[in-house]
Amino acid sequence: MKTAIFPNFQKKNALECARKLCDILNESNIEIFVDDSFESEFIDKPYVKYGLFNEFVREADFAIAIGGDGTILKCAKHIIETETKLLGINTGRLGFMSALEYSQLDQISNLKSGKYNISERMMLNACIDSNGSIYELEALNDVSVSAAYSNICDFNIYSNGNIIGSYRADGVVFSTPTGSTAYSLSAGGPIIEPEMECIEMTLICPHSLFTRPMIFSPNKKIKFENAINSNPDIFVSVDGGEPIKLSVNSCVEISCSAHKIKIVDMAGNTFYNSLNKKLMCPIK
């Protein structure tokens, strides 16, 4: 059994967690691979192997992301079109997508015994056509389109070529069910069971009393159209990545991706437990 470690050492306790994780994996006779750039952090652990992460992770049984939800999203991009399963260990703040907290590292031996569940998560495909340049990106969480400096903008939204509405807002978030507990939730969107397949659309600060989030079936193609010359600069960001400027008369097409990510769920850390512990605490 092979594991590929993807740590974010900018997070508190991530280095200590990664080193302890390696010891537990080694005791369970599980191979450990880490990117060359982190060799100095594990120099005293002769059983750790090194290489290029984006190469050995494609042959690994598990990719283990150590950090927060952002770290998990970055790790997920490396395992698209593979059978590698993704496990998150939270050393960040919310860590909603994580299977384990740092204090639960002893459960990592369950990988060897098979005492875990797999949650298959849909992804979104974002095709961005901006001034003749085409970008195709995949999102596990969301695709956000918004104006610079929180300026308000006007845009049209279509579903399979049929116009849904012309909106005035700061922007819009298209999310997967996995991403429904992230930016979309903060913008007023509903929480959706992560194994469902649908596309959620939530407007960001709409200038309207009646605009509500919408849920689309996964076979729909949703289009954001920037058709107003007077709009401020509009940018597209996929899973919080580097924003791409969307020129006037350009569009973003959102559809269900052909790829899925397999996320590991450990006993006692299901979606509902995370929801109860991490999002419901302030109202109890």
Q: Domain-by-domain residue ranges, the chain?
A: 2-116+266-283, 123-258
Q: Which of 268, 273, 229 is nearest to 247 (CA)?
A: 229
Q: What is the DSSP letter of 148?
A: G
Q: Is 61 a catalytic residue?
A: no
Using a pLDDT cut of 90, give the percent of the chain over it: 79
Q: Is 154 helix (H, G, I), strand (E, B) or coil?
A: strand
CATH 2.60.200.30 fits 123-258, yes or no: yes
CB 5 within 8 A of CB 45: no
Give the pLDDT of residue 283. Answer: 45
In the structure encoding, which two tokens stand for residue 208, read together? 């309207």
Its pTM stands at 0.91
Going by pLDDT thresholds of 50, 70 and 90, the confidence category of residue 281 is low
Task: Work out the average pLDDT over 180-208.
Answer: 95
From residue 62, give the alpha-carbon distance in Å to each of 37, 55, 89, 136, 143: 20, 13, 12, 26, 26
Pairing of strands 117-130, 171-175: unpaired
- Contacts of 225 by beta carbon, 8 Å cutoff, 6+ apart: 155, 156, 157, 158, 251
Question: Poorest-confidence range of 59-63, 206-210, 265-269?
Answer: 265-269
pLDDT at 169 over 70: yes
Give the pLDDT of residue 130. Answer: 84
Give the pLDDT of residue 23. Answer: 96
Same topology, domains 2-116+266-283 and 123-258? Answer is: no
- Contacts of 56 by beta carbon, 8 Å cutoff, 6+ apart: 2, 4, 33, 49
Give the pLDDT of residue 276. Answer: 72
Task: Work out the average pLDDT over 143-163.
Answer: 94
CB 178 within 8 A of CB 121: yes
Instruction: Note the pLDDT tens digit of each residue in 228-273.
Output: 888 899 999 999 999 999 988 899 999 999 999 999 988 666 676 7
Give the pLDDT of residue 284. Answer: 45
pLDDT at 282 over 60: no
CATH classification code of 2-116+266-283? 3.40.50.10330
Choosing from 23, 35, 36, 69, which is the catalytic residue?
Answer: 69
DSSP string, 7-54: E-TTSTTHHHHHHHHHHHHHHTT-EEEEEGGGGGGGTT-TTEEEE-HH
Average pLDDT, the chain: 92
Question: Poorest-confidence range of 41-55, 70-84, 211-225, 256-270?
Answer: 256-270
Give the pLDDT of residue 278. Answer: 64
